[in-house]
């Protein structure tokens, strides 16, 4: 029976090993009027994953959180309720509360400098003029954290940027959005399961 005792001890040890945690942050603005806007793609990706996995968001301090467990990993999906310009407040709070390292956080954001649906996953970088990233950088005092930029293009006239990013997807974008959301869901899971470098190699430019 020695083999059984060895296996039992091994299983008990595995049971006590904490699951590796990741914070997946989708940036956006709260309120139904913003739900389908380009600026809310971060929220939309997390909502898609939650619907896919049959999990739901709970209103908590500084946001809404859903927990997804896959293959020994725990993914906390966070939608800050601070509005875009104060996203860093929620990010900092949840990183510290859950004792998650910055390298295990992925921030999903819209990007005007990329064509619609284009994907750029990066290990670090500037805020690129994005107010959500700017506030995260300010409060974390760092630009070194993984981010997933989802292209929304820059198809707007001069002086219309705010109206464009806070506008809803056009008909052609809506047609392609589901396929892009499916890939985005794969990216989030790959980040936790395969790591950042493998995820960048697989999905950047896809």
What's the pLDDT tens digit per position in 21-59? 999 999 999 999 999 999 999 999 999 999 999 999 999
Please tell me whether the overall predicted TM-score, pTM, comes out greater than 0.85 for this model.
Answer: yes
**What pLDDT shows up at residue 16?**
45
**What pLDDT shows up at residue 157?**
85
The DSSP code for 18 is: P
**What pLDDT shows up at residue 4?**
43
Q: Decide the pairing of beta strands 119-122 and 147-151.
A: antiparallel
d(CA 108, CA 111): 10
Burial 38-68 (b: 16+ CB within 10 A, else e): bbbbbbbbbbbbbeebeeebeeeebbbbbeb
Cβ(63)–Cβ(9) under 8 Å?
no
Instruction: Out of 57-61, 87-91, 128-132, 134-138, pick the least confident.
Output: 128-132
**What pLDDT shows up at residue 18?**
56
d(CA 193, CA 107): 16
**What pLDDT shows up at residue 15?**
47
pLDDT-based confidence at residue 1 (cuts at 50, 70, 90): very low
d(CA 42, CA 28): 6
What residues are labeled active site? Answer: 39
**What pLDDT shows up at residue 8?**
44
Average pLDDT over residues 124-146: 93
DSSP string, 40-52: GHHHHHHHHHHHH
For the stretch 145-188, pLDDT in tens is: 999 999 999 988 888 999 999 999 999 999 999 999 999 999 99
Percent with pLDDT over 70 in the chain: 91
pLDDT-based confidence at residue 7 (cuts at 50, 70, 90): very low
The DSSP code for 157 is: -
- Complete domains list, the chain, with CATH: 17-203 (3.40.50.1470)
d(CA 111, CA 92): 22
Percent with pLDDT over 90 in the chain: 84
pLDDT-based confidence at residue 206 (cuts at 50, 70, 90): confident
**What pLDDT shows up at residue 98?**
97
Q: Which residue from 81, 80, 102 is spatially nearest to 26, judged by alpha carbons?
A: 80
- Contacts of residue 2, Cβ cutoff 8 Å, sequence gap at least 6: none
Average pLDDT over residues 71-89: 96
Average pLDDT over residues 88-117: 96
pLDDT-based confidence at residue 191 (cuts at 50, 70, 90): very high
d(CA 44, CA 36): 8
Q: Give me 165's structure tokens.
A: 């990013």
């Amino acid at each position: 029976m020695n083999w059984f005792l060895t296996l039992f001890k091994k299983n008990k040890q595995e049971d006590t090993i904490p699951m590796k945690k990741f914070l997946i942050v989708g940036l956006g603005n709260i309120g139904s009027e913003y739900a389908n806007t380009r600026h809310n793609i971060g929220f939309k990706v997390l909502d898609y994953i939650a619907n896919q996995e049959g999990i739901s968001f709970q209103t908590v301090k500084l946001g809404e959180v859903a927990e997804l467990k896959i293959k020994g990993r725990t993914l906390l999906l966070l939608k800050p309720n601070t509005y875009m310009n104060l996203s860093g407040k929620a990010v900092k709070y949840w990183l510290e509360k859950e004792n998650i390292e910055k390298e295990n956080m992925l921030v999903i954001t819209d990007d005007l400098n990329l064509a619609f649906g284009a994907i750029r996953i990066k290990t670090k970088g500037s805020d690129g003029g994005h107010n959500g990233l700017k506030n995260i950088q300010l409060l974390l005092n760092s630009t070194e954290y993984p981010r997933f930029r989802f292209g929304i293009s820059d198809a707007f006239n001069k002086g219309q940027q705010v109206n464009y990013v806070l506008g809803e997807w056009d008909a052609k974008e809506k047609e392609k959005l589901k396929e892009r959301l499916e890939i985005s869901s794969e990216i989030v899971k790959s980040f936790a399961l395969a790591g950042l470098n493998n995820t960048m190699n697989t999905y950047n430019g896809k």
